[in-house]
Amino acid sequence: MSATVTLTETAPPAPAPVCVGQPDIQYHPDEAKFRARTARRLAEDPTLPQRPLPEGFPAQTGGPIVWEGKDWTDESQWVYNLSDDQLAEIDRALAHFESLDKPLGFINRETFPLPTLSAELWKLAEVLYSGRGFFVLREIPIDKYSRRELAIVYAGLSSHVGSGRGKQDGTGAVLAHIKDLRVSHAHEKGGIGNAAYTTDKQVFHTDIGDLIALLGIQTSAHGGVSRLSSSGRVYNEIAKTRPDLITVLKDNWPLDRFGGDPPYAERPVLYNEDGHIVIQYSRRHFTGFGTQLRSANIPPISEAQAEALDMLHFYAEKFSLGLNFKKGDIQYINSMGLLHARDAFIDEGVHTRHLVRLWLRNDELAWKTPKPLEKTWRTLYSNPPEDQRFPLEPEIRRMAGGATK
Ligand SMILES: [Fe+2]
């Protein structure tokens, strides 16, 4: 009897189109490939390390935000412990906001008043912009609040650090949930193209915007260490050893917009703005991640860019500081001056890692935004209270057209 072909049988999927000319580089940095690429490029042109730095870029940068992980010895150096009195003040602010009966977008310094804690949070905001660039607030009693109350407390406290609250997506969401969503959101069209929604390692990158806040609602069973690294420290190393790559980093790069219109954007990865070294990039925009491969209809990155991208990562890793999240911690970081990453992790039972992110800005303390980033920053922070959405449960960020990002 001959084999029958059922009507439900489908043809094998067509191979995904590739970005022609793209260097052999993936989302997960491969040190052997990096070393081989460097050796190849230096063999082709041994004068690369002797090239001058681009005009206006310093031989070395300094200040409190230029540090190495080994400079920090104890978490008491960056953890601010909230006292019982301060926690009581937070509860009174929560009750006050609730009494106003306003939508959550109206949470601000006035509607969430903190008579004594506000000045402390301002000093900590100064640490973000003029000091080491990060701190941890410990700890919010997560379990005593409903999810809605927690959102009010989190956004309320954070408004005293930076009153500008950025949009996380095209739908006005100001809260983003960082959690493994591969099972709960397996139906998502286009799949998951961002390591933030998996248990996978997230390589060094920056978010867009000035400040990032991450509230730990729950921690994982194993792994998931959060890593920070000073962009200035990484800059100094590259400027000293490979000034030619500083030129590469400050020139335009083709960022994949993953189906956006236009399909790619061009801007530098590195800026020297008003005395501040700023690195602003996400590796997946140059390599793709997971099911989101680099788009086929856009230019590839160059071999020099591939080398620079790996060098950023490996120096950031070398000079990084690892921070463990505790349930109830809020980690605040300056994303203009620090790179961040996350180790892979394992969830078990109730120990399911769940962070909630805000993007903030303190207009009075902020660094000058580099010109090529101004439009993005304007869009990010043009977010009137009535348009702000506070998703209380995890969802995947969407662009205005509905595509995932
Ligand atoms: Fe991030």
Cα 207 to ligand 1 centroid, rounded to whole Å: 5
pLDDT for 296-312, tens place per residue? 999 999 999 999 999 99
Cα 339 to ligand 1 centroid, rounded to whole Å: 9
pLDDT for 230-276, tens place per residue? 999 999 999 999 999 999 999 999 999 998 999 999 999 999 999 99
> What is the distance of C-alpha 149 from the center of its chain?
25
pLDDT, position 191:
56
Cα 79 to ligand 1 centroid, rounded to whole Å: 20
Is the sign of the CA dihedral 231, 236, 242, 244 positive or negative? positive
Amino acid at 288: G
Contact 389, 241 (CB under 8 A): no
Cα 47 to ligand 1 centroid, rounded to whole Å: 36
Q: Which domains does the chain have, with CATH numbers?
A: 44-387 (3.60.130.10)
Q: Which residue has the tokens 């009966």?
A: 101
Amino acid at 362: N
pLDDT, position 401:
46
For 241, residues 6+ apart whose C-beta sits below 8 A from its C-beta are 49
pLDDT, position 204:
96
Cα 357 to ligand 1 centroid, rounded to whole Å: 9
Question: Of 142, 282, 298, 283, which is closest to residue 217 (Cα–Cα)?
Answer: 142
Cα 130 to ligand 1 centroid, rounded to whole Å: 21
How many angstroms separate the CA atoms of 399 and 261, rounded? 11
Cα 40 to ligand 1 centroid, rounded to whole Å: 32
Per DSSP, 157 falls in state H
Cα 205 to ligand 1 centroid, rounded to whole Å: 6
Cα 45 to ligand 1 centroid, rounded to whole Å: 35
pLDDT, position 215:
97
* Residues flanking ion ligand 1, Cβ below 5 Å: 207
Q: CA dihedral in degrees (138, 141, 142, 147; nearest 10)?
A: -120
Distances (CA, A) of 55 to 52, 209, 235, 272: 8, 26, 15, 10
Cα 26 to ligand 1 centroid, rounded to whole Å: 18
Cα 196 to ligand 1 centroid, rounded to whole Å: 7
Cα 395 to ligand 1 centroid, rounded to whole Å: 16
Cα 284 to ligand 1 centroid, rounded to whole Å: 11
pLDDT lower than 50: segments of the chain: 1-8, 189, 401-405
Contact 158, 358 (CB under 8 A): yes
- List the beta bridge partners of residue 180: none
Cα 182 to ligand 1 centroid, rounded to whole Å: 18
Cα 304 to ligand 1 centroid, rounded to whole Å: 24
Residue 330 burial class via C-beta count within 10 angstroms: exposed 0-12, middle 13-18, buried 19 and up:
buried
Cα 242 to ligand 1 centroid, rounded to whole Å: 26
Q: Which two tokens stand for residue 366?
A: 């902020």
How many angstroms separate the CA atoms of 214 and 7, rounded? 50
Cα 340 to ligand 1 centroid, rounded to whole Å: 6
